[in-house]
């Protein structure tokens, strides 16, 4: 008797591990940041309902703060997924800003050239950090910690030596007529907000020289850069072969090398991306304030890491999401401005950072155990 293939029921293969729908949801890296974002919005809707925090002006306030965190979180996220850290990120913000301000105001360089020079210097330093990590085998924590102190020291020394002060002004004058300045310091959709103001859909100034003009006169390029970087990084990570290389480099570098992944090149490029993102924020800040200060970027390296960890990226590398990191940045922006709107002492923001970091690490450890089956 011939037994057909369809007549024999297929037994479950014990080697194939089935994952329930609930478990699949639980191990999504951005789950924690989604829950955190919802919880934070609900909290401030309850404690500060009439503060104007969720008016257009309020949204622009906390949205601008969130954009600052998001820009640096993008670079930190991809680097952490690749299995490395960059503690020099905050110092890079101050360093790049001082380079732009000194070259444009003290040395007479066109602002566009000063910005390009700052990006070139930052990318070179990022590549050097990556190269040292690869060549020496030292932890990136140590290499970039050294860079943190070197850059911060140079950022203080250079302006004091050249200008006698750690604050360099005059950038707004240097930006007049410069073709690159609007890319970092301009605003978009100004006409739309003016049109909305004419129809009473956007608040306007009631008195003074700006009477009748919209309170919100456009979306700053800082926010545009944040959205652009988040979208591009997400597409890179999830839609390209290079994105797979980033995950592989952080997950198991040895195995990745064995299948042809250029792990060293990937890691160096991610260090350069981190430096690039820091310089984008520096350029936006310099053009917004019209000056550079040596203490800009202080503690930003830690805030970026916390935003990324909140977003679900594992400290061990090989797992994470840019969308989660962006939501972590939104949480930071909402909480920082929400404390102000609620009339709470702003220093408690640091307390919040510490608590949420601890909670996020515990949650991520639990998720890692779900993925790997560890006890």
Reported residue count of the chain is 375
Task: Note the pLDDT of residue 4.
Answer: 45
Confidence (pLDDT) at 15 = 45
**Mean pLDDT on 316-323:** 90
- pTM here is 0.90
Q: Element (H or E) spanning 219, and its range? A: strand 219-220
Average the pLDDT over each of 27-31, 169-173, 268-272 and give the range with the smallest value: 27-31
Q: Which pair of structure tokens corresponds to residue 329?
A: 């940045």
- Secondary structure percentages of the chain, helix, strand, coil, to 5: 70, 5, 30
Residues 6+ apart with CB under 8 A from 206: none
Rounded Cα distance between 294 and 102, Å, is 12
Q: How confident is the model at residue 156 (pLDDT cuts 50, 70, 90)?
A: very high
- Residue 375's pLDDT is 58
pLDDT at 179 over 50: yes
Indicate the average pLDDT of the chain.
Answer: 87
Q: Is the pLDDT of residue 80 over 80?
A: yes
pLDDT at 16 over 60: no
- pLDDT average, residue stretch 117-126: 98
Could you give all domains of the chain from N- to C-terminal order, each with its CATH number?
29-45+54-372 (1.10.3470)
| pLDDT score, position 221 | 96
The confidence band for 69, taking pLDDT boundaries of 50, 70 and 90, is: very high
Cβ(110)–Cβ(104) below 8 Å: yes
pLDDT digits (tens, 9 = 90+) for 36-51: 888 888 888 888 777 7
CB atoms within 10 A of CB 206: 9
**211: helix, coil or strand?**
strand
d(CA 265, CA 130): 9
**pLDDT tens by residue, 259-280:** 999 999 999 999 999 999 999 9
Please tell me the least confidently modeled range out of 79-83, 247-251, 356-360. 356-360
Note the pLDDT of residue 220.
95
Confidence of residue 371 (pLDDT cuts 50, 70, 90): low
């Amino acid at each position: 008797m011939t037994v057909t293939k369809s007549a024999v029921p297929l037994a479950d293969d014990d080697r194939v591990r089935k994952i329930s729908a609930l478990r699949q949801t639980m191990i999504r890296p951005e789950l924690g940041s989604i829950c955190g974002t919802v919880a934070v919005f609900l909290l401030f809707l309850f404690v500060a309902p009439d503060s104007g925090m969720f008016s257009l002006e309020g949204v622009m306030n906390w949205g601008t703060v969130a954009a600052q965190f998001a820009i640096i979180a993008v670079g930190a996220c991809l680097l952490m997924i690749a299995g490395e850290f960059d503690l020099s990120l905050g110092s890079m913000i101050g360093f790049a800003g001082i380079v732009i301000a000194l070259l444009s105001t003290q040395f007479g360089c066109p602002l566009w050239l000063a910005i390009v020079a700052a990006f070139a210097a930052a990318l070179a330093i990022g590549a050097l950090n990556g190269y040292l990590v690869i060549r020496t085998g030292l932890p990136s924590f140590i290499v970039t910690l050294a860079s943190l102190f070197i850059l911060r020291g140079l950022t203080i020394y250079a302006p004091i030596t050249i200008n006698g002060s750690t604050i360099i002004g005059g950038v707004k004058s240097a930006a007049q007529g410069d073709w690159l300045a609007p890319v970092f310091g301009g605003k978009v959709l100004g006409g739309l907000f003016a049109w909305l103001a004419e129809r009473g859909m956007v608040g306007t100034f009631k008195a003074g020289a700006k009477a009748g003009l919209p309170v919100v006169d456009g979306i700053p390029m800082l926010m545009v850069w944040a959205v652009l970087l988040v979208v591009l990084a997400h597409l890179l990570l999830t839609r390209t072969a290079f994105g797979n290389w980033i995950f592989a480099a952080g997950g198991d570098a040895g195995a990745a090398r064995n299948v042809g992944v250029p792990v060293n090149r990937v890691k160096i490029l991610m260090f350069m991306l981190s430096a690039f993102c820091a310089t984008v924020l520096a350029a936006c800040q310099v053009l917004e304030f019209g000056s550079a200060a040596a203490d800009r970027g202080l503690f930003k390296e830690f805030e970026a890491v916390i935003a990324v960890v909140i977003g679900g990226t594992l400290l061990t590398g090989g797992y994470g999401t840019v969308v989660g990191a962006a939501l972590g940045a939104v949480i930071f922006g909402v909480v920082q401005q929400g404390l102000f709107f609620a009339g709470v002492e702003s220093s408690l923001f640091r307390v919040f950072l510490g608590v949420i970091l601890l909670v996020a690490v515990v949650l991520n450890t639990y998720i890692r155990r779900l993925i790997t089956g560890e006890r």
